[in-house]
Homo-oligomer: A and B are copies of this chain.
Amino acid sequence: MHPGGFFLIDCGEGTQMQLRRHKVRFGRINHIFVSHLHGDHVFGLPGLISSYGLLGRTNDLHLYANENLEPLLRPWMAFFSRDLPFKVIFHQVIAERQQLIYEDESLEVWSIPLEHRIPTVGFLFREKAKERKINKESCAFYKVPIKWMPHLKRGCDFIDENGNLVANDRLTYPPPPSKAYAYCTDTRYSEAIISVVRGVDLLYHEGTFLDDQEELARKTFHSTARQAASVARGAQVGRLLLGHFSSRYKDLTPFLVEARSVFSNTDIAVEGGVFEV
């Protein structure tokens, strides 16, 4: 959630049903970020777009994805969702290097180059630095006029009518911390990810296999739980959310045990779970 609307990352088959089941007001999704063009990450798009049409959506819908998505999706939209009452705007994301792909007054979204069988990116959501908070008592004492407040919030000092300088930190409190969240799937273990996600509050990283299948993980361009935890530890993130488990595993406890042995603040991403950043 963000003042500009909800963000959705990837849209596999049945996404709209999941959103309905978990009572997400999905009409407020204005931006969809697609990590890569494997079916389980995009097959929900025709249905979601079609439902938006039936629901009378009028807000633009922005899709951030590999360049091949638009020529695949446009003919389906033209056939199944003629005369949509809203615009679908495609933004091309390249996988070769980190890019700023979205920006508004309070948030930036960056792509993160990943290592998968096809061009794949992760996404880094980073709040911009927030404004400092006014210390009203102190401002009253120094007789700071109202028109100075915006400058104070941005960190400027105050010069009173006698030419005396009052340092900003005597008139304001520090801003609330800017949060960051990174989403990395599907990917092989990659050291390059560490520098990009350094210090984020929450890292979602795939851990498809357990450590004893490290070779299979490498070959299939997926990660193990231990590798995901290594990224989390190396990047000194606040918390690791582990997901994208192979369906061969019925019990996820070993994933948690393995990851926590490397990075203790790890949790398992469960369907419908809500994780505060």
- Say whether A234 faces chain B, with CB atoms less than 8 Å apart: no
| Cross-chain contact A80 with B14 (CB below 8 angstroms) | no
- Say whether A177 faces chain B, with CB atoms less than 8 Å apart: no
| Cross-chain contact A47 with B13 (CB below 8 angstroms) | yes
- Say whether A72 faces chain B, with CB atoms less than 8 Å apart: yes
Chain A 26-41 interface 0/1 with B at a Cβ cutoff of 8 Å (1 = within): 0000000000011110
Considering only CB atoms, which chain B residue lies closest to A13 in the complex? B47
CA distance A57 to B80 in the complex (A): 29
Task: Provide the residues of chain B in CB contact with A75, threshold 8 Å.
Answer: 72, 75
- Say whether A81 faces chain B, with CB atoms less than 8 Å apart: yes
**Chain B's nearest CB lies how many Å from the CB of A116?**
15
**Chain B's nearest CB lies how many Å from the CB of A152?**
52
Q: A75-B72, A75-B75 are in contact. Are A43 and B50 (CB under 8 A)?
A: yes
Considering only CB atoms, which chain B residue lies closest to A38 in the complex? B80
A residues with a Cβ closer than 8 A to B are 13-14, 16-17, 37-40, 42-44, 46-47, 50, 68, 72, 75-76, 79-81
